[in-house]
Chain A
């Protein structure tokens, strides 16, 4: 059978074997957590607690401000030590709540309906909002906003994203193997909220055991979902590419998946929905793949949100001597870190400890117009041209060539034989074009 896929894209080496066979392990409760007040796209939260306040696990400590925002909860039971600016994975300081753990968990559960099947959509929506659920694939878009159907844009398809196309990462893979029933229930809840009938589960074909497990559980649970094996290709898990692969619809430029009647959600996200709606637990922990060739024992750990990266690494035996890079997220779109005291956040899908990166920058050659980047770009842009235009500050021209469509997947840099920092220039260009547009309006 021909596997479904999108066009263009690249085939990076997978490196999944480090942690793909490691069962999910629960990380021991951390002694202190740093809970950022902004773990989502949108407006930051307002803190609800003060210094020296006692907090319970699951207690709301940051209130959502505005519609596109999401509350944060304490992930341990303890005392608020400080509210201040701490280093974040993006490389700058943002407001966080520093909580010191005192003893074991004392849960504060969410208000939830007794049975989600008979509950109303409004009730479910409220639970999802108050549980602070955001997209756990990496973008961290508030889920309650995503699940809000606008009357002029009806939704008819729900796609569960189990691609995990980034090299190294294995957290979604392990979750689909070990928590398949919970994921499927979460998916059913999300589909009830959206009121859609068609449900697809897209999984890349390098996770045959996960495809098998999900198929079995779908059948056993009597769900009307279809498990779709997909070609192994990067960026298969990008929303637009996944929609093209599974339902063959193209999201118009500047549009959202809702414009073509589709909602895509990550495995972790629907799992969090299930935990919130069925068990009343807000989003305070997530599965993180700690992997790479520079960590002593690669693992998939379930860590509390706010756990310092350092304690997670220590739990995995520490870093090896050959480490050159610690990346939060995958190697294609993740952020390299210089400080391991930063906390795990809701969107942290993996920590890649790599010893492969050379400390000497690779020599950059002139562009030889080999068109590798043109045939790799999943958005059909001309990366080499755009990068040159923004290098020479021709921002209007690059806007005309669609620079804002770039999804920053990094495929162009991956294939470039001249080692040109194409994506880095594109980021500069995108920033400048957006600035120009803001000035005009």
Chain B
């Protein structure tokens, strides 16, 4: 206690001595302890300490983690990319506001979850998609994918993927028309590496797959940018590392199995890992906290299941790509996974 501090306090309140305070102490024993005036103490039940991370911090960190992929989308695809991204994010946030108004609840746009949905949806769209379709998809994602279930934390499916599934069903041609980076969109339609392999058996080499100089959705082509953001999430522990690891690992092993059997008809496992939307899906969509299992064992099952489904769709399905459906299908079984993977509690005795 520095002397200067003490004199400071004496100025504000009369000097506190045992005798002077005693009669007062009966009324409120705290009177002489609070200087200059008594202030009620905060009462709550334990614990009284808590970590500072909260939901908005997590959500905006996910947005931040998507920045590298977003920047690369703009670099590769130019103005149309900017248009799509802005349209999707704005439509998602506005839809959230409107529904908040209809439901007469406080606005929830500050928590950042609507912005993520819009941005993620934009990054899964082909660059040639008309802006109006993208806006429709964004509205559908928030309204039907999220708010119908009760808003943040209650949805069963990843809202961005619901929006994309809606667009895939509504505009099948526009959703499968691709363009190459830096080329403009003057009627020349390109194919994604997965499509090229599936329909023409042309294998794209690894280097363009990783840098992203290929046809594909806005945010999925540059695998490096997606991985950088994903690793940031894992380091910050805002995503469960088990899911991307088991998802990618399963795809690698399962597709590798077919490649070993028949290398002429099946692409090598590295091609499968780095092509299409797998990285974006594994790091940003499968790890969506709300729609993935809460138990550690469940996370493994979720990732492995999604990996198996993806390989089956890619190799034997009618579509060249299956990240969206594999994750949505696993979302639908997440409640069951949670139920059957309850961890054994500490010292649980078999009865």
Which residue of B is nearest A336, CB measured?
B43
Interface flags, B109-140, vs A, CB<8A=1, else 0? 00100000000000000000000000000000
The segment out of A61-69, A216-224, A408-416 that lies at the interface is: A408-416
The total number of A-B Cβ pairs within 8 Å is: 181
Residues of A within 8 A of B293 (CB): 371
Residues of B within 8 A of A394 (CB): none
The answer to whether residues A405 and B345 also contact, given A371-B295, A414-B50 and a CB cut-off of 8 A, is yes
* Contact present for B153 and A410 (CB under 8 Å): no
Query: Does B235 make an interface contact (CB < 8 A)?
Result: no
Query: Does A341 make an interface contact (CB < 8 A)?
Result: yes
Which of B44, B293, B299, B344 neighbours the largest number of chain A CB atoms within 10 Å of its CB? Answer: B44
The B-contacting residues of A in range 317-370, CB under 8 angstroms, are 317-319, 321, 323-327, 329, 331-341, 352, 354, 356-357, 359, 362-363, 365-370
Query: Does B35 make an interface contact (CB < 8 A)?
Result: yes
Which residue of B is nearest A337, CB measured?
B41
Interface size (B, Cβ < 8 Å)? 51
* Contact present for B58 and A417 (CB under 8 Å): yes
* Contact present for B345 and A297 (CB under 8 Å): no
| Cα A335 to Cα B152 with chains together (Å) | 33
**Interface residues of B, dominant DSSP:** loop
Query: Does B79 make an interface contact (CB < 8 A)?
Result: no
The answer to whether residues A366 and B42 also contact, given A255-B347, A297-B1, A401-B342 and a CB cut-off of 8 A, is no
* Contact present for B42 and A324 (CB under 8 Å): yes
* Min CB–CB distance B297 → chain A (angstroms): 11
* Contact present for B58 and A370 (CB under 8 Å): yes
* Contact present for A240 and B347 (CB under 8 Å): yes
Residues of B within 8 A of A415 (CB): 51, 53
Residues of B within 8 A of A369 (CB): 153, 289-290, 292, 294
* Contact present for B345 and A379 (CB under 8 Å): yes
Which residue of A is nearest B26, CB measured?
A341
Residue from B40, B151, B349 in contact with A366 in the complex, judged by beta carbons closer than 8 Å:
B151
* Min CB–CB distance B153 → chain A (angstroms): 3
Instruction: A334-B48, A365-B152, A417-B57 given; name 17 further pairs at CB < 8 Å.
Output: A13-B49, A251-B346, A319-B33, A321-B36, A324-B42, A332-B49, A339-B29, A340-B30, A357-B44, A366-B154, A369-B290, A371-B294, A371-B295, A374-B294, A380-B344, A405-B345, A427-B45
Interface pairs A-B: 3 shortest CB-CB: A410-B47, A366-B153, A365-B55
Residues of B bordering A, CB below 8 Å: 1, 16, 25, 29-30, 32-36, 39-51, 53-55, 57-58, 111, 151-154, 240, 289-290, 292-296, 299, 338, 342-349
